Homo-oligomer: A and B are copies of this chain.
Amino acid sequence: MKFEITARDPSTRARAGLLHTAHGVIETPAFMPVGTSASVKGMTQDDLERLGVQVLLANTYHLYLRPGHETVLAAGGLHRFMAWPHPILTDSGGFQVMSLKGLSRVTEDGVEFRSHLDGSSHFLSPERAVEIQWALGADIIMALDECVEYPSSFETTRRATQLTGRWARRAKEHYQRARDSGFGGRDSENAGPPSGVERSQQEASPRTPDPEPRIPALFGIVQGGIDRALRRESAEQILDNGFEGYALGGLSVGEPKGETFDVTEYTAELLPWDRPRYLMGVGTPSDLVECVARGVDLFDCVMPTRNARNACVFTCEGRLAIKSARYARDEAPLDPACRCPVCRRYSRAYLRHLFQAGEMLAAILATQHNLHFYLDTMWKIRQAVVSGDFVSLLRRVRTGSSKVSHT
């Protein structure tokens, strides 16, 4: 996986680049819509392509439980299974496993957990997380980490951060073993799905065959809560393994926004400048601008899609709670400044009606619009970095005069 930095803002840490993966190039800074169970809720893959989505995030925990990574592997990997021939990143599954209150237990070895679907028992270790993601076949896979909630005691945070460090080493070692000798599925020695599957695929439809299976890139995750010393210690432990990219974990978990920004800036500074930096689970449109200014290249967040389903849409004048009676006869589009397919065609009154009537189309259209808003924000950021106008964009966001300011 090659990462090219193509432009740097002279007065902030913002940079624009190209992340080359086996399934295509991602222009950074990039926002990754979340496709939890191999689907971005309410969107077809055609819709995502029309919106200009370049990379998706899928959740290993959900796919491991259903349909199972073996089933995905048998289908030729996640790209072919979900008919998305573009880049995919999978998380390690750890965040969701450990969010299962009362259903998970962390030990040095890994995490014992029970399925939220059927209560069955499972075990996730750093090695197992690599194996499952390898079978899923994403372009970028993540090392297993332990993310603590905010607030947590120093002791709790230190324990989790150090465990994350030891797990990162085990993940990297296991990944290296897979590269060297393979453990089934999509490595260089045992490439692709069984030939029977391949054949039926070709007979069945003109869908583009998957490119030759490639070795995924493994990213490490820096933890440490909001404690600078722990962040530094964590960065040192993680960097020691030489990952292909680095994620900032444990942020946007309840801490004040100022801490999110400060810890992001502090941590990003500790990471090699020539490797992509991924801030996990962040954030609002203005958070994206603020964190690009602090050196972040990749983001994911459920906010645009989840808010859409809850009738909350992003506009240049702030968020609209579109179910409000005030929009019952409002003929304007969701956002008069927006050129997305939803704003070109439909009125607020119609969207409001669809939510009131419980129509699926409500969530579909609101999701299309919100994703467009996020992708458009990233596009504006990239353009501003390239053209040297990023500081001006940042100022407009901070003073509330930019499209992304009120969000």
Chain A window 327-344, contacts with chain B (Cβ cutoff 8 Å), 1 for yes, 0 for no: 011011100100001011
- CB neighbors of B among A361-386 (8 A): 361, 363-365
Asked if A37 is at the interface (CB within 8 A of a chain B CB), the reply is yes
- Whether the Cβ atoms of A200 and B332 lie closer than 8 Å is yes
CA distance A38 to B81 in the complex (A): 34
CA distance A345 to B47 in the complex (A): 13
What is the minimal beta-carbon distance from A192 to any residue of chain B, in angstroms? 13
What is the minimal beta-carbon distance from A341 to any residue of chain B, in angstroms? 7
Known A81-B347, A205-B343; contact A329-B37, beta-carbon cutoff 8 A: no
Asked if A353 is at the interface (CB within 8 A of a chain B CB), the reply is yes
Asked if A154 is at the interface (CB within 8 A of a chain B CB), the reply is no
Known A81-B349, A356-B66; contact A333-B41, beta-carbon cutoff 8 A: no
- Whether the Cβ atoms of A364 and B360 lie closer than 8 Å is yes
Contact of A204 among B82, B341, B347, B361 (CB under 8 A): B347
Which segment, of A67-75, A163-171, A256-264, A313-321, faces chain B?
Answer: A67-75
| Contact residues on A (Cβ < 8 Å of other chain), bracket | 35 or more
What is the minimal beta-carbon distance from A347 to any residue of chain B, in angstroms? 7
Residue of B nearest to A207 (CB): B345
CA distance A347 to B210 in the complex (A): 14
What is the minimal beta-carbon distance from A198 to any residue of chain B, in angstroms? 9
- CB neighbors of B among A254-289 (8 A): none
Residue of B nearest to A336 (CB): B204
Chain A window 19-56, contacts with chain B (Cβ cutoff 8 Å), 1 for yes, 0 for no: 00000000000000000011101111110000000000
| A350: chain B residues within 8 A (beta carbon) | 38, 75, 81-83
CA distance A44 to B345 in the complex (A): 10
- CB neighbors of B among A132-172 (8 A): none
Residue of B nearest to A309 (CB): B360
- Whether the Cβ atoms of A44 and B353 lie closer than 8 Å is no
CA distance A385 to B350 in the complex (A): 39
- Whether the Cβ atoms of B344 and A38 lie closer than 8 Å is no
Residue of B nearest to A359 (CB): B39
- Whether the Cβ atoms of B37 and A357 lie closer than 8 Å is yes
Asked if A102 is at the interface (CB within 8 A of a chain B CB), the reply is no
Known: A39-B360, A204-B336, A360-B360. 10 other contacts (CB 8 A): A38-B353, A39-B354, A45-B345, A66-B357, A67-B353, A71-B329, A75-B329, A204-B333, A205-B347, A360-B363
